[in-house]
């Protein structure tokens, strides 16, 4: 009897929490680009993500956290294997208020799509160079105003083979325009989450490889930066002989 009462209370709390998230999302304009990182919606985003971690049985192992900048904003670049990549990264590095540049479809995801919009995440149209450049300019301005740090995937889309796809080196212009360092990250194991769930726990490795200082970023061409970033990522990704 007591167990049933506790179960009913827990179910009630969960339903109230979900209802609160739904109602909160209704106050966000799905067609607006927000320029201020909302602390309230950032909290909701992180709390919902924490629950998702438990529900999907994720265990994230971090390496090289000491390489992160001690202060100031930055551009984070990472390889891309799964739709879980940004979710894991923004939560593990939540104190840095990351806002990812993402494809437009992700902003249509119920609740989460609106929350990330309110947290200054932005869509990019790679088929339209002019609009893509506008997104790059906006991202740089958000960094300059100290609203958020920006996260991008130079590959532009998920790799289905785990091998790095060709880079869109234009994303490095964000760091050049904002005059900030570039944090190089490698993520491994996220491509297994879908097949592991719900029977098996997924082990993810998030490696902070290096932070390229501002002087390096502003004194090199984007193609040169891309070549170096790709080299650093491959040094880790090509060692995936054994499971994490």
Note whether residue 24 is domain-resident: no
pLDDT value, residue 243: 44
Averaged pLDDT for residues 56-78? 96
3-class DSSP state for residue 191? helix
pLDDT value, residue 240: 67
Q: How far apart are CA 78 and CA 157, in angstroms?
A: 11
- Helix residue spans in the chain (DSSP H): 2-25, 39-55, 84-92, 112-118, 129-144, 173-178, 193-196, 214-219, 222-237
3-class DSSP state for residue 184? strand
Kindly report the average pLDDT of the chain as a whole number.
Answer: 93
Strands 149-152 and 122-123: unpaired
64 has pLDDT over 90? yes
Indicate the DSSP class of residue 89.
H
Copy the structure tokens of residue 25: 């999302």
Q: Say if residue 81 is exposed, middle or buried (CB neighbours under 10 Å; 0-12, 13-18, 19+).
A: buried
Nearest to 179 by CA among 222, 214, 128, 131: 214
pLDDT value, residue 99: 98
Note whether residue 6 is domain-resident: no
Note whether residue 102 is domain-resident: yes
Instruction: Supply the range of the domain harboring residue 74.
Output: 31-237
Q: What is the dihedral of CA 157, 32, 19, 93, to 10 degrees?
A: 50
**Number of independent structural domains in the chain:** 1
Note whether residue 10 is domain-resident: no
Note whether residue 15 is domain-resident: no
- The dihedral region occupied by 205, where left means phi > 0, alpha psi between -120 and 50, and beta the remainder, is beta
Question: Residue 29: enclosing H or E segment and its boundaries?
Answer: none
79-136 pLDDT per residue, tens? 999 999 999 999 999 999 999 999 999 999 999 999 999 999 999 887 888 889 999 9
Q: What is the CATH number of the domain that holds 63?
A: 3.40.1130.10
143-156 pLDDT per residue, tens? 999 999 999 999 99
pLDDT value, residue 130: 87
What is the sign of the dihedral through the CA atoms of 36, 95, 182 and 218? positive
Confidence band of 244 (pLDDT split at 50, 70, 90): very low
- Give the rounded percent of residues in the chain with a pLDDT score beyond 90: 83
Note whether residue 135 is domain-resident: yes
Note whether residue 194 is domain-resident: yes
Angle made by CA atoms 30, 51, 22, in degrees to the nearest 5? 30
Q: Is the pTM of this model over 0.85?
A: yes
Strands 75-78 and 182-188: parallel
Note whether residue 26 is domain-resident: no
């Amino acid at each position: 009897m007591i167990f049933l009462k506790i179960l009913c209370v827990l179910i009630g709390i969960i339903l109230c929490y979900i209802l609160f998230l739904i109602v909160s999302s209704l106050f966000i304009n799905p067609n607006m680009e927000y320029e201020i990182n909302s602390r309230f919606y950032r909290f909701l985003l992180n709390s919902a993500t924490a629950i998702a971690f438990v529900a999907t049985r994720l265990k994230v192992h971090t390496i090289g956290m000491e390489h992160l900048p001690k202060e100031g904003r930055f551009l984070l670049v990472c390889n891309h294997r799964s739709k879980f990549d940004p979710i894991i990264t923004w939560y593990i590095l939540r104190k840095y208020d990351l806002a990812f540049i993402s494809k437009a479809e992700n902003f249509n995801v119920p609740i989460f799509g609106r929350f990330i919009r309110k947290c200054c995440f932005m869509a990019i149209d790679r088929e339209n160079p002019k609009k893509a450049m506008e997104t790059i300019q906006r991202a740089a301005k958000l960094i300059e105003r100290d609203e958020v740090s920006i996260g991008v995937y130079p590959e532009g889309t998920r790799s289905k083979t785990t091998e790095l796809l060709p880079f869109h080196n234009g994303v490095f212009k964000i760091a050049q325009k904002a005059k900030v360092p570039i944090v190089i990250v490698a993520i491994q194991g996220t491509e297994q989450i879908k097949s592991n769930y719900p029977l098996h726990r997924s082990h993810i490795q998030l490696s902070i490889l290096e932070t390229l200082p501002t002087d390096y970023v502003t004194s090199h061409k984007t193609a040169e930066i891309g070549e170096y970033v790709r080299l650093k990522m491959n040094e880790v990704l090509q060692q995936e002989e054994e499971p994490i």
